[in-house]
Structure 1
Amino acid sequence: MTLLEVNDLSIRYAVEDGSSVHAADGVSFSVEPGETYGLVGESGCGKTTLAKSLVHLLDSNGYIESGEVWLDATLPAWEDGNGDPRPEIIEDESYPVRADGMTNLAALSTEQIRDVRWRDVALIPQSAMNALNPVYRVGDQIVEAILRHEPNTSKREADGRARDLLERVGIEPERADDYAHQFSGGMKQRAVIAMAMACNPDLLIADEPTTALDVIIQDRILEELEKLQEEFGVSILVISHDISVMAEICDRMAVMYGGKVMESGPKEDIFDDTANPYTLGLKNSFPTITEAQQSLVSIPGTPPTLRDPEEGCRFRERCPFVVEECHATHPPMYDVEAAAADGRRLEAGDQRAHRSACYRVDELESIRTDATQEETWTAQEIENR
């Protein structure tokens, strides 16, 4: 059974002049139990906004405009003795609970979502090195999370668990008595990971977990996440602008641009059989150790404004493969394999399939070849189209 289903989620930020910024627009993806799923894209594409919206941690001017966030979890007040939703809860349409036990997080109140955070879903924030309270000992902050969701647990037992968690992520247990300023950047990152695992959640959201760390510490942090996943069976939603991180840790992933998902599917399909011009551009801008004299090619232009964006494909102004249809409406997600096999465009319903939001998904062979040429990505070439 799927652990997380995000269906057609749209998020806005209100601004002072009365307009709004459409930070995420019709985003859909799913995460399976024990899976690592990645959201990748350049800064400002909506990745962090999505992460925060899942657990109601958007800034005060942010709000979910539409869509659903279904999680395989039930609030404690709605559970029977086996941890499943009581029949009367499922049958009552006023409760955001499906017959399969999934709960719509987007429909929960502020108080209700507090029963979900840490217990079912935990977030490692993007600014993890500033996430620890400077006036509380690190161990006490982990203990507080445990006691919030497990009131029958003694403080002594919670303290022991906090020290054990710190040890699991490579921090000496006695450092639980230290303050955040006594930790290095890598230690703070590990401490936040330990805190996130305090209540053994089913889903761990890691927002840029390796940002501001050197490559050695980055590798160790990724190893820690993989070990925790193997030990606890937790699913991980990783958010990053670094596609090399995705290549190392993810099972499936989605590539975002301008608040939209441009391509999604198994990691191997995304990297080996890339099916979207934006993803091809991202790959061109990252070095590889497999090619001795590879020149890096940047995507010309700048990301689109998300304040009432115009109709059409979000990537059209920077895309060297744009056609007239791209200016009319943003393309839906098409099944890449079906388009290649049948020579026609088929919209995909299966979120696990390799999908691409591109009107030329049936012309991938030529597009992939042209995308490797530096001259294809010159601003003048794109403008002439």
Structure 2
Amino acid sequence: MQRDLKAPVLEIKNFNVDYGLGEESVQAVRDVTLTLHRGEVLGLAGESGSGKSTLAYGITRLLPPPGVISGGSVIYHPPGDQPYDVMALTNAELRAFRWAETSIVFQGAMNSLNPVHKVSTQMLDVIRAHEPQLSQQARVARAQEMLKLVGISADRMDAFPHQLSGGMRQRVMIGMALVLEPQVVIMDEPTTALDVVMQRQILAQLVQLRERIGFSVLFITHDLSLLVEFSDRIAIMYGGRIVESARAADLYKQALHPYSDGLLHSFPALRGPRRELTGIPGSPPDLGAMPSGCAFHPRCPKAFDPCADTMPLLEAPTTHPGEDRNVACWLHAVERVRG
């Protein structure tokens, strides 16, 4: 399938999420701006606590209390229709939007299935809720076809979740997310509990399904090695902000932000010469007491004068003109520092 990576399907603009209210509130997501293009796999990486899952739940309005969306918009571009802001949808409109237009595979998806209902019951309920005009026979055929696409035999539809392996339960959740053929699929750490062989199998199958059905994927994980292999573009998140975004190949070749570079050197390369794994010293910041300036500067080996005082903007780097990337780092905005 031909993919138009220039046409947006989901635009996240200046998005903010707080936990709590008033002066004691914690800013978990701060001024995040991202664009997911049609047919694209956009990876979102960062350490635990960087705000990745909070962002996913926020943009789908699934954020549980005390989480509060404190600003920003999420513009969805339906095919052949006018774009609209997900934040402005009524409850009824939001119910129709979820699963049909945007679906989500949750973190810990293997435990998301109801243990007392068969797989068939849970898949058919999704179809019945959004397409009540379909006959029972058509619903069953749709569910069987989707299970076959994710590599599960149709005769396992009447199995209970405990009768399936971990990988099969994961595939059922992916099949359920795709059964209404949504335009956007958000996957929040969907392979964390699986072994590396099963991870690769499921992700390779996901890429094949993307080529066949044409949906876009926002893939959230702390494992940057997975994103390098399966994503078109990657955004790096730290302390609730996006600190770098670039094409996957460009980021792997040369990460500009020291945090991105630290993540890349935290896993071994499968090919090429052996390299030393350096990791990242220190711990992620306390969101309730963020450092001044660049949030990464207390851990950064390349920090210099402005890093501790002034927050760098996420913008095209002056050191790499013409590249399709943005970075929030004073190392790549030297002209403005000196000016």
Q: What TM-score, normalized to structure 2?
A: 0.92
**Do the aligned residues in 1 keep the contact of 2:77 with 2:84 (CA within 8 Å)?**
yes
Taking the TM superposition and a 5 Å limit, the aligned residue runs for 1:262-281 are 262-281=243-262
Counterpart of 1:131? 112
Listed one character per residue, the Cα deviations across residues 266-306 of structure 1 (whole Å, up to 9, x for unaligned) are 11221112111101111111111335442211211111011
Taking the TM superposition and a 5 Å limit, the aligned residue runs for 1:229-308 are 229-308=210-289
1 CA distance for matches of 2:178 and 2:320? Answer: 42
Query: Displacement, 1:339?
Result: 3.4
Counterpart of 2:329? 358
Counterpart of 2:68? 63
Q: Which of the two has higher C-alpha Rg?
A: 1
2 CA distance for matches of 1:220 and 1:26? Answer: 35
**Do the aligned residues in 2 keep the contact of 1:340 with 1:362 (CA within 8 Å)?**
no
What percentage of residue pairs aligned between the two structures are identical? 39
2 CA distance for matches of 1:362 and 1:106? Answer: 34
Q: 1:23 aligns with which of 11, 15, 28?
A: 28
Q: 2:14 aligns with which of 2, 8, 13?
A: 8
Taking the TM superposition and a 5 Å limit, the aligned residue runs for 1:70-149 are 70-73=75-78, 84=81, 101-149=82-130
1 CA distance for matches of 2:321 and 2:128? Answer: 55
Listed one character per residue, the Cα deviations across residues 95-145 of structure 1 (whole Å, up to 9, x for unaligned) are xxxxxx111112223332111111000101011011111111111111111
Counterpart of 1:339? 319
Query: Displacement, 1:61?
Result: 1.1
1 CA distance for matches of 2:54 and 2:106? Answer: 11
Secondary structure of 1:3's partner?
Answer: strand
**Do the aligned residues in 2 keep the contact of 1:210 with 1:218 (CA within 8 Å)?**
yes
Any runs of at least 4 consecutive aligned residues in structure 1 with deviations exceeding 6 A, and if so which? none
Q: Any gaps of 5 or more consecutive residues in structure 1?
A: 75-82, 85-100, 343-351, 364-385
2 CA distance for matches of 1:114 and 1:308? Answer: 37
2 CA distance for matches of 1:341 and 1:292? Answer: 29
1:330 equivalenced with 2:301 (yes/no): no
Counterpart of 1:34? 39
Counterpart of 1:371? none
**Do the aligned residues in 2 keep the contact of 1:209 with 1:221 (CA within 8 Å)?**
no
Greater relative contact order (CA < 8 Å, ≥ 6 in sequence)? 2
Listed one character per residue, the Cα deviations across residues 185-211 of structure 1 (whole Å, up to 9, x for unaligned) are 100100000000111100011111211
What letter matches 1:360 in structure 2? L
2 CA distance for matches of 1:130 and 1:360? Answer: 43
The number of aligned residues is 328
Q: Any gaps of 5 or more consecutive residues in structure 2?
A: 1-6, 335-339
2 CA distance for matches of 1:192 and 1:248? Answer: 22
**Do the aligned residues in 2 keep the contact of 1:140 with 1:159 (CA within 8 Å)?**
no
2 CA distance for matches of 1:178 and 1:329? Answer: 57
- What is the alpha-carbon root mean square deviation over aligned residues? 1.9
Counterpart of 1:314? 295
Listed one character per residue, the Cα deviations across residues 289-346 of structure 1 (whole Å, up to 9, x for unaligned) are 335442211211111011252431110110011122112232101312x43459xxxx
